Amino acid sequence: MIRLLIQHPHGDELSGVKTYVSNLTDVLLLRGGVEVRVVSTRSDALLVRLAAARWADHVHLNSNDLALALYARFRGKPVSIKYHWPFWLSTKDVYHPLPWRKRIRREMAYLFRRYWDWRRPAKYPVAIARMVLRLAVFRIVSYRLACSQFTADAVDRPGWVKAVPNPMAIDLIEQDALVRRPAAVPTFVFAGRLVPEKGAGALIEACARLAALNLSFNTRIFGSGPEEQHLRHMIIEFGLEGIVKLEGRVSAGEVAKALSAATALVFPIDWEDPAPYPPLEAAAQGVVTIGARAGGLPETAGPHALLYDRGDLTALVAAMHSCIADPAAAFARGQRAREFAVTRYAPEVALEAFDAAVSLGLSSRQDADA
């Protein structure tokens, strides 16, 4: 029996990490041959985390818990870390490759511009300390993983970080058995936090342009956040009250139900999102994604997505227009998107990649048991 400790960092602000930990834990327990414990740097005391590290055969971090990493390595335990967020904060909005030393200098300059405040002089030193912490953990751990190839490459340390897909809870039923009941009127869905970088505002602008063409369609926006009131004003300003609806924050099951009747998911991000989940949630329902070429989105959306250059509103409108004009083609793309997601992100497939990347030994243990 392999004993795996998974460190889960924080709370709702990193919901993608929570999804990853939940899906990984579920598939590990279904596989068998492994006992899993999950600890949190926020809710579990240090002594609790260290005791769990003594128990474990392998410690898997999802944030920079230096004390846990040091203690596990001191006791001879292998430690892996998975990056779900840009390693360098200066690459969050735009990433261009740089040599390692230049990247560190660029990061320090970025942190100075963002955090230096004479009224709160501790902000900048704290930001630098966090960078040093991140680098320290990076050197200590045995295995470095990332949620996408983009995120691995953006560390700017070639060969040091391995891309390992996050497992996605996709029902492995036959394609023909997937029941979809697309809405009579073409319907677009957005799911995500309502902040500027997620692009819900761009989606509303695209809807206004499509509505001006007297096209029949609906758009449903799921999520909450600081931009919500601004988006409501945009809907009223463009006269889209009967077309665009803000649904608020709902359960994952309700989003899945909405996607099952959708023509396409629209995800017009305006930042280097490491590996967004909504395209995978759409693919699980056989729904194509319309999204920007940014960060890891092209990877999770897959080769059958309708991608456009980031910030190109005209191209976004054209992609949505193509789905309204030919829903059958959009449906076919969605089916192929699902096939792709199953081959790369289905729980067992992602677990095999994780097992191979951290030398956990699940496959060999299973062969021995057989």
Q: Is the pLDDT of residue 208 over 50?
A: yes
Q: Which of 8-22, 68-82, 232-246, 349-363 has the lowest mean pLDDT?
A: 8-22
For residues 261-283, give the mean pLDDT: 94
Asked if 210 contacts 324 with a C-beta cutoff of 8 angstroms, the reply is yes
| Predicted TM-score of the model (pTM) | 0.91
175-345 and 2-167+346-369 share a CATH fold: yes
Confidence of residue 55 (pLDDT cuts 50, 70, 90): very high
C-alpha span between 146 and 274 (Å, rounded): 9
> What DSSP letter does each residue of 22-47 carry, written as one string?
HHHHHHHHHH-SEEEEEEETTTS-HH
CATH classification code of 2-167+346-369: 3.40.50.2000
Confidence of residue 362 (pLDDT cuts 50, 70, 90): confident
Which residues touch 236 (CB under 8 Å, ≥6 apart)?
A: none
> Which pLDDT value is given to residue 34?
92
pLDDT in tens, 160-172: 999 999 998 776 5
Q: Is the pLDDT of residue 157 over 90?
A: yes
Per-domain residue ranges of the chain: 2-167+346-369, 175-345
Q: Which of 13-22, 31-40, 259-268 has the lowest mean pLDDT?
A: 13-22
Which sign does the torsion angle of CA 235, 284, 343, 326 carry? negative
Average pLDDT, the chain: 91
Confidence of residue 106 (pLDDT cuts 50, 70, 90): very high
Asked if 319 contacts 335 with a C-beta cutoff of 8 angstroms, the reply is no
Which sign does the torsion angle of CA 179, 217, 340, 336 carry? positive
Q: What angle do CA 238, 242, 248 make, to 5 degrees?
A: 90
Confidence of residue 178 (pLDDT cuts 50, 70, 90): low
Confidence of residue 341 (pLDDT cuts 50, 70, 90): very high
Return the CATH architecture of domain 175-345: 3-Layer(aba) Sandwich (3.40)
> Which pLDDT value is given to residue 10?
64
Q: Is the pLDDT of residue 223 over 90?
A: yes
Backbone φ and ψ of 333, nearest 5°: -60, -40
Confidence of residue 176 (pLDDT cuts 50, 70, 90): very low
Per-residue exposure over 79-91, b if at least 16 CB sit within 10 Å of its own CB, e if not: bbbbbbbbbbbbb
Smallest Cα–Cα separation from 54: which of 46, 63, 43? 46
pLDDT in tens, 6-17: 998 765 544 678
The label of the residue with tokens 């949630």 reads 281
> Which pLDDT value is given to residue 251?
87
> Which pLDDT value is given to residue 368?
47
> Which pLDDT value is given to residue 364?
56
Q: Is the pLDDT of residue 363 over 60?
A: yes
pLDDT in tens, 110-143: 999 999 988 998 999 999 999 999 999 999 999 9
Q: Is the pLDDT of residue 81 over 50?
A: yes
